[in-house]
Amino acid sequence: MVDALIQKIDQREYNIGIVGLGYVGLPLALTAIEAGFTVTGLDIDPTKIEQLRAGHTYIKHIGEERVRKAVETGRLHVTSDYSEAAVPDCLILCVPTPLGKHMEPDISFITNTMDSLLPHIRKGQLISLESTTYPGTTFETVVTPVQEKGFTVGEDIFVAYSPEREDPGNPNFETKTIAKVVGGHTANCLELAKKLYNQVVDNIHEVSSCEVAETAKLLENIYRAVNIGLVNEMKIVTDRMGIDIWEVIRAAATKPFGFTPFYPGPGLGGHCIPIDPFYLTWKAKEFGVNTRFIELAGQVNHDMPDYVLHKTIEGLNTQGKSLKGSKILVLGIAYKKNIDDARESPSCEIMELLQSYGAEIAYTDPHFPKFPVMREHSFNLSSVPFDEATLSQFDCALIATDHDAFDYELLLRVAPLIIDARGRYKRGTPKVVSA
């Protein structure tokens, strides 16, 4: 069976099913179409389906023309009808994996998706999970239920894990050029998954199991979270010493070996870095291991919005004002600059803190004309203009996300006080408080 499926892949007769057409699923779907495949996209959001059918994008860094060209090929079929999951030859799951209220993994999106797919899966299909999660999830949520349905994994159905690697807004990397880690539940599963992904992306790296691939993805994100936690703590220390942390990092980065620069900020954002380390922390407890290093970094990063709050209070105090009643303009609600993704953005946490202390808040962000619908945060706000007339109305401007679209010379000239959480200004610049 594997040989016949590989032949279908080689001849581009293989229909690729992608479940979840968000920041991971959509670029993967477009890349597969550009590689000559037909794609069946499934998503529970009817708005996404309508926009894609019309050739429109809902993710700004994915160009409208790219979506339109995919639609014009006739090889993109999108639907919210999960009964059509029987059509594609594989099902690649690209669904969220958030945290619960007590920092425990929430894999309900995976389990709910599998519940919807199970009545329709058929022999010969490959099911590949791409969602970031703890080791063993693929076995628990994919292998076990398909086996209970009567399939034999590795013989008449195939299961793999290949973690997503997306960096929204980074022009240097795209789905096709980012190496793909692939693990299979059996040798046949790995062989089929390797063959498929090799046709879509430039390079793959095979590992011995799904569990290794799951853990590799966590290590990637934990590495970033821990180093960001370190540099955030360094920022607090150097601030007390009157030293510019950004100048320190630039100096250290001149070392050509043994040092990778990481940069401080107002907290962690995005779907991966603030969340994924706690998936391993939670799983490690099952084996009697306390991940103290990871948890400490998590706590440092979690506390950064509160640090920015208190730097704002200090800045206002120097002007004889209290936070209560002050008008604060937050620059940027995306979790990083130049993108339209606000998932887990520290800006939202900062806005809630400011509001809880009695500040009047507004925001400006060219990527979000209206505050987006979010699970954890809700503000009935729209983006205000970034111009001299608007800036002059506020007691303080807080740089939470340093979009390139902002005019920082204008901001410095007009704003009475700037709280700089992104290092846009040199330490000691008049009217600027480094945060």
Which sequence positions are flagged as catalytic?
272
> What would the DSSP string read from start to end of 344-405?
T-HHHHHHHHHHHTT-EEEEE-TT-SBPPP-SS-----BPPP-SHHHHTT-SEEEESS--TT
Going from the C-alpha of 111 to that of each of 108, 137, 143, 287, the distances in angstroms are 5, 10, 12, 23
Residue 199: Cβ-neighbour burial (10 angstroms; 0-12, 13-18, 19+): middle
Give the number of other Cβ atoms within 10 Å of residue 11's Cβ.
9
Instruction: Please state, in angstroms and rounded to a whole number, the distance separating the CA atoms of residues 380 and 390.
Output: 19
Alpha carbon of 325 to those of 189, 356, 386: distances in Å? 61, 11, 22
Q: How far apart are CA 165 and CA 213, in angstroms?
A: 12
Do residues 182 and 158 make contact, with C-beta atoms less than 8 angstroms apart?
no
**Cβ atoms within 10 Å, residue 321:** 17
d(CA 250, CA 234): 14
Whether 309 and 421 have beta carbons less than 8 Å apart is answered as no
The angle that helices 2-10 and 187-200 make with each other, rounded to 10 degrees, is 0
Q: Looking up tokens 């062989």, which residue turns up?
A: 191
- The Cα 414–Cα 393 span in angstroms is 10
Count of positions (residues) in the chain: 435
> Pairing between strand 180-184 and 158-161?
antiparallel
Phi, psi of 28 (to 5 degrees): -65, -40
**198 burial level (CB within 10 Å; 0-12, 13-18, 19+):** middle
For 391, list phi and psi in degrees, rounded to 5: -60, -35
Name 7's Cβ contacts closer than 8 Å, sequence gap at least 6: none
Quick check: helix, strand or coil at residue 91? strand
